[in-house]
Amino acid sequence: MTPAEKVDELARIREGVLAGVDRATEAQHAKGKLTARERLALLFDEGSFTEVEQLRRHRATGFGLEAKRPYTDGVVTGWGTVQGRTVFAFAHDFRIFGGALGEAHATKIHKIMDLALSAGAPLVSLNDGAGARIQEGVSALAGYGGIFQRNTKASGVIPQISVMLGPCAGGAAYSPALTDFVFMVRDTSQMFITGPDVVKAVTGEEITQNGLGGADVHAGTSGVAHFAYDDEETCIAEVRYLLSMLPANNRELPPSMPVEDPVDRRCERLSDLVPVDGNRPYDMREVIAELVDDGEHMEVHERWAGSVITTLARLGGQVVGIVANQPQALAGVLDIHSSEKAARFVQMCDSFNIPLVTLVDVPGFLPGVDQEHGGIIRHGAKLLYAYCNATVPRVQVILRKAYGGAYIVMDSRSIGCDLSLAWPANEIAVMGAEGAANVVFRREIAAADDPDATREQLVKEYKAELMHPYYAAERGLVDDVIDPADTRSTLIGALSMLRAKHAPLPSRKHGNPPA
The catalytic residue among 129, 170, 214, 316 is: 170
Question: Which phi and psi (to 5°) does residue 116 adopt?
Answer: -60, -45
CB 308, CB 290: distance < 8 Å: no
The catalytic residue among 74, 129, 171, 321 is: 171
CB 308, CB 341: distance < 8 Å: yes
The catalytic residue among 406, 429, 433, 473 is: 406
Known catalytic membership, residue 170: yes
Alpha-carbon gap, residue 165 to 39, rounded angstroms? 10
Known catalytic membership, residue 201: no
**Strands 419-422, 181-185: pairing kind:** unpaired
HSE toward the beta carbon, residue 23, CA cutoff 13 A = 0
The catalytic residue among 405, 416, 435, 493 is: 405
- CB neighbours of residue 284 within 10 Å: 25
Alpha-carbon gap, residue 301 to 160, rounded angstroms? 16
Known catalytic membership, residue 171: yes
CB 166, CB 94: distance < 8 Å: yes
CB 361, CB 401: distance < 8 Å: yes
Known catalytic membership, residue 119: no
- Contacts with 429 (C-beta within 8 Å, 6 or more apart), sequence order: 402, 403, 404, 436, 466, 467
CA distances from 445 to 143, 448, 451, 460, 465 (A): 70, 5, 5, 14, 18
Q: Known catalytic residues? A: 170-171, 405-406
